[in-house]
Chains A and B, each alone.
Chain A
Amino acid sequence: MSDRINTEVIDWLTINFLPHEAELRTMLRRVCKDAAEIDDVIQETCCRLLDLPDLDHVRSPKPFVFRTAKNIVLDRVRRDAVVSIETMANLEELDIADTAPSPDRVVFARDELKWVFGLIANLPDRCKSVFRARRVMGMSQNETAATLGLTDSVVEHEMMKGMRLMSEMISKHGVEQQNRVRQAPAPEHALKKSNVRD
């Protein structure tokens, strides 16, 4: 089944979703009833992005992600048929302006991943060495285990721990909290990205 997952979508999520996840979760707090619902919306957002036939045409990924999440919340609101005025008002906040660097600036993967370095630095040493050995030396699990003097199950355990810690950090500290050099957001808040008035 995993081979049916398009690696381009995963790259897209890595670059365009994870860095903004913390900010998105913060905004979702105002429209979701509890932490479990936020997790649900995040998961459904990823699922919807995964299901899109093509992400190449998304010009402003961050607003697109937020809008996708907003629509999932909207669907839930419609399904529950209980509309809180407050929720509807807060939902508007998910219509964010595009503060991405100007399109003519080509950004390379190394810059895109800068914020990840900061998070990895916070991982426990053994966790870091497992990821690094597998990645940099291209070692198999057995080789990693042998080189680091660990058993297979410990390697797996460390990777699992690393994933959980990274996930926690990504959900709390997005790219904005890192010392990433960014252009000041353009005050383009006047333009809502997508909305309907009947």
Chain B
Amino acid sequence: MSEIDHEAFAWVVRQRSRGLNDAETARFDAWFKADRRHRGAYARALAIHNAVHLASGEQAFPARPPEADDDAVRRDAGIARRNLLLGGLAAGMALAAGRFGYSALRGDTVLTTAKGEFRRVPLQDKSIANINSGSQIEVAFTEQQRTINLRKGEAWFEVAKDKSKPFIVEAGDARIRAVGTAFSVRRLANGSEVLVTEGTVEVWSLDGSAGRRQVTAGEHAFLAHDARAIPVTRQPEEVSRKLAWREGKLVLASQTLSEAVADFNRYSPQTIVILDPALRDKRLVGQYQLDAPELFAKDVSMVLDVPVTITSEKILIGRARDADHARI
């Protein structure tokens, strides 16, 4: 331990044991301000004291009743809250399945998600639609065919096997047919993207000019609006990266900052804006929770060494030429 650590312990012990007099308080303030390391060592010393303090109490009363009015209990609550927050998204998805699954089973046919909302909806044939943020699907099941119209956004389907009734997703002009498989369809401005995670699907365009292509697990297909062909590429890692939203995650494997920002902006009510165009092509590797764009922004700030400004509506990355934003 360094001398700084020992100084920090001495301050904590003095404060906790008998309190500081005015002269000592002034000395402490000066010490605290003098060096970042002093502040860090002091925080660490407080944490150690906290650990010993909490643990000494817990040892003596292992079965402390919850109604005891004690700061340890309040801390318990605080910790539980924070850990519960960790599970918030998963719980939200489970809740959504419970709430909306019922209406889908009853035959309500249009399912919509708001920005930042995810739904896992069991359909009446036991297939499951996992609907990404800001999307809408229409479910139309008949005796002959199971049809889903992806009106906007993206959804990943786990299709229940039923050879007598093909499962067809319509996305604009694009058509995707599955028997028993799992795949996603996403509508983009210039066409539809199909990612297959299990089995095989058949894709084609309504006007038929591009023919039909089989797409199997780990493959990616893109149906451009007026393409003459449907490119299919095998990229299993990319397929699972792009579907990380199913676990509430956004995975970056050397995507550019502008791609990453566009991805986050699909989910977050806070719009991320890159102020400095020079930053757009910086490539990033990382994994984030979809609902924590500010954590991503803070990392970008640290790794790229650029300022980040977070407000309730926007996250600004970098520095505009004419503005001088505060460093976070």
Contact = CB atoms under 8 A, between A and B. Distances in A.
B299 A67 contact: yes
Contacts of B53: 131, 134-135
Interface residues of A, number: 77
Interface residues of B, number: 81
Interface majority SS (helix, strand, loop, mixed), chain A: helix
Given A44-B36, A53-B328, A103-B90, A166 B59 contact: no
A162 B16 CA distance: 13
B39 interface: yes
A32 interface: no
B78 A166 contact: no
A70 to B, nearest CB: 9
A29 B42 CA distance: 22
Interface string B284-326: 1111010010110011001111000010000000000000000
Given A59-B292, A164-B9, A43 B41 contact: yes
Nearest to B59: A117
Contacts of B38: 43
Given A42-B40, A50-B39, A135 B82 contact: no
B12 A109 contact: no
B9 A167 contact: yes
B190 interface: no
B235 interface: no
Nearest to B18: A141
Interface string B21-59: 000010011001100111111111111111111111111
A163 B49 contact: yes
Nearest to A132: B56
Given A43-B37, A57-B292, A112-B79, A159 B284 contact: no
A109 B56 contact: no
A76 B60 CA distance: 45
A116 B51 contact: yes
A56 B56 contact: no
A109 B48 contact: no
B10 A160 contact: yes
A77 interface: no
Nearest to B38: A43
A108 B76 CA distance: 6
Given A43-B4, A44-B36, A17 B285 contact: no
B2 interface: yes
A45 B44 CA distance: 10
B287 A135 contact: no
B78 A11 contact: yes
Contacts of A44: 36-37, 40
Interface in A79-121: 103-110, 112-113, 116-117, 120
B17 interface: yes
Interface of A: 1-2, 5, 8-11, 13-15, 17-18, 36, 39-40, 42-50, 52-54, 56-59, 64, 67-68, 71, 78, 103-110, 112-113, 116-117, 120, 128, 131-132, 134-136, 141, 152, 155-156, 159-160, 162-164, 166-168, 170-171, 191-198
Given A159-B13, A170-B48, 4 more contacts: A11-B50, A112-B79, A120-B56, A141-B18
Interface of B: 1-2, 4-6, 9-18, 25, 28-29, 32-33, 36-62, 72, 75-76, 78-80, 82-87, 90-91, 251, 254, 282-287, 289, 292, 294-295, 298-299, 302-305, 310, 328
